[in-house]
Amino acid sequence: MSPRRRIQPGEEPLFIEQVPKSALWSRLPVWPALPWQWWKPSRNWAMPTAMVVAGVLAAGGISTSAYVLIDQRSHHQAAMKEVDVLGFVRAFMTGFTTLDPFHANDYMDRVLAQATGDFAKQFRDKKNQILIQVAQAEPTKGTTLDAAVERWNDDGSADVLVATDVTYKTPDQKQMLDNTNRWVVTAQREGDQWKISSMQQVI
């Protein structure tokens, strides 16, 4: 054993205590957490939350796509319906303004087959008078210049504005004349066929 040595007053100690670094850090003051450090997501519920958000976004996307599809289909059906009724009215008015005095009965039958409601009733009531007028008239050639739907009615019928042009020769066959007219025609759907229920000439 080594002899003990007495330390004289004022003499520095031979051994200095070494403080571990971890102990030094523990002695530093504790600073409060920064605002973005107050809340930290937990892995236990981060995944379910992400799935819920993704589900909500997917449902919203599906709803939007369905609305757009239904809206486009509705517009497409309305457009096709308008094309259908305008095609019928154009063809009818062309035939209505084309007169052949040698086929007056055929003219009457053709118009009545495409008429309904008040228009059909008026045509039947004046059948004989109309036959005489057609038989005595000069041959005419009718042309539908333009047609447009003015409005759709609550019963599904359509009021259509129509412009027609009728060309014919004078009785001496020396001069060709033409006459332009405007009409308001109401077309009514019956089964799978459109029919004319009302017709008024616009002056």
| Domains, the chain, with CATH or none | 82-202 (3.10.450.50)
Burial of 151 (0-12, 13-18, 19+ CB in 10 A): exposed
Q: Between these two residues, 171 and 110, which has the higher pLDDT value?
A: 110
At 24-43, the pLDDT tens digits run 455 555 555 545 454 555 55
- Flag whether pLDDT at 86 surpasses 80: yes
pTM beyond 0.75: the answer is: no
Q: What is the pLDDT of residue 44?
A: 61
What is the pLDDT confidence band of residue 175, given thresholds at 50, 70 and 90?
Answer: confident
Burial of 81 (0-12, 13-18, 19+ CB in 10 A): middle
At 124-172, the pLDDT tens digits run 999 999 999 999 988 999 999 999 999 999 999 999 999 999 998 888 7
Q: What is the pLDDT of residue 45?
A: 61
- Flag whether pLDDT at 183 surpasses 90: yes
Determine the distance from the C-alpha atom of residue 74 to the mean position of all C-alpha atoms in its chain, rounded to a whole number: 5
At position 123, the amino acid (one-letter code) is: F
